[in-house]
Amino acid sequence: MARVVKKPIRKNGRTRPRPEPAFDKEARSACGNAPIDLYFWPTPNGWKITIMLEECGLPYTVIPVDISKGEQFKPEFLAISPNNRMPAIVDHDGPDGKPISIFESGAILQYLGRKIGKFYPHDERGRIEVDQWLFWQMANLGPKAGEANHFRAYAPEKLSYAIERFSNEMSRIYGVMNTRLGDRECRDLLNCGHGVRRLGEPGRALRPRPQRLSECQTLARNTAASPGSEARPVCPGGSRISRRHQ
């Protein structure tokens, strides 16, 4: 049973309990009485879902999956995420009021958007507009940024071909993002803001316009769990909570 962890706030040298924000009424209605279980570790893929849950105002319980210890290979987690990757969620108030488990961050984002009615249009044209950029992130920004970061920062030997190839690809991808964000808000690229700071400093590729991604990067700081933490309910509050992490 997850327990509530209340972190104290210091004010004028004194410690007082942190007030718990009220759940969004619409989100509470959509979620029923049970928070969503979020199987999470603080990585860009995990942040996608904490960002979405916060912005939707949905209550959720963080269940850490320590990938450095191989917890993603435990049978109980594989029953939820057979690809042994987090994040994954269990919504105890799923379709028809029955529990449902979902893995893959893109599928989770689509499900949450449909469930709460935020960030995911009801009309087909609007939904296609969001879907194409969601899949663009899943197929381009996320994987290529990971590959560039790996060969530049973690590979046992420096392979100039791989470094140049993926750095050039990231420059192209960031160019696509810059063009998209040129005269738009970043809501349809909300899932992209988590990873744009992940590349190593030396020789890093072209970066997206910081003024357009500042909101997304702020939301990405809303990490609901840190290494060594335990399962705990999280009180959502959308950007209000996110901005406390600036």
> Encoding tokens for residue 238?
């959308």
| pLDDT, greater one: 25 or 228 | 25
Q: CA 178 from chain center: how many Å? A: 21
Residue with tokens 């104290």: 8
Predicted confidence (pLDDT) per residue in 109-134, tens digit: 999 999 998 888 999 999 999 999 99
In this predicted structure, the answer to whether residue 226 has a pLDDT above a threshold of 60 is no
Predicted confidence (pLDDT) per residue in 59-72, tens digit: 999 999 999 999 99
Q: Report the relative pairing of strands 14-16 and 88-91 from DSSP bridges.
A: unpaired
Task: Enumerate the domain spans of the chain.
Answer: 9-119+223-239, 124-220
Predicted confidence (pLDDT) per residue in 175-219, tens digit: 999 898 887 665 555 556 555 544 444 344 445 444 444 444 443
CATH level 3 topology of 124-220 = Glutathione S-transferase Yfyf (Class Pi); Chain A, domain 2 (1.20.1050)
H/E stretch holding 232? strand 232-234
Residue 108 binned pLDDT confidence (cut-offs 50, 70, 90): very high
**In the CATH scheme, what architecture does the domain 9-119+223-239 have?**
3-Layer(aba) Sandwich (3.40)
- Residue 61: what pLDDT? 96
Taking residues 169-174, what's their average pLDDT?
A: 95
Concatenate the DSSP letters of all residues of 35-101 into one string: PEEEEE-SSHHHHHHHHHHHHHT--EEEEE--GGGTGGGSHHHHTT-TTS-S-EEEETT-GGG--EE
Q: pTM of the predicted model, to two decimals?
A: 0.70
20-24, 82-86, 105-109, 161-165: the lowest-pLDDT one: 20-24
Residue 6 binned pLDDT confidence (cut-offs 50, 70, 90): very low
Q: How many angstroms separate the CA atoms of 246 and 242, rounded?
A: 8
Q: CB of 54 within 8 A of CB of 23? A: no
Amino acid type, 64: P
In this predicted structure, the answer to whether residue 21 has a pLDDT above a threshold of 90 is no
Residue 93 main-chain phi, psi, to 5 deg: -120, 60
Residue 74 binned pLDDT confidence (cut-offs 50, 70, 90): very high
Prior bond to 8 cis, omega within 30? no
Q: Report the relative pairing of strands 36-40 and 60-64 from DSSP bridges.
A: parallel
Spell out the residues 6+ positions from residue 140 whose beta carbon is closer than 8 angstroms to its own. 173, 176
In this predicted structure, the answer to whether residue 8 has a pLDDT above a threshold of 70 is no
What's the chain's average pLDDT?
A: 75
Beta bridge partners of residue 90, listed in sequence order: 37, 101
Residue 83 main-chain phi, psi, to 5 deg: -90, 10
Apex 38 CA angle, 34 and 186, nearest 5: 110
45-54, 125-134, 192-201, 231-240: the lowest-pLDDT one: 231-240
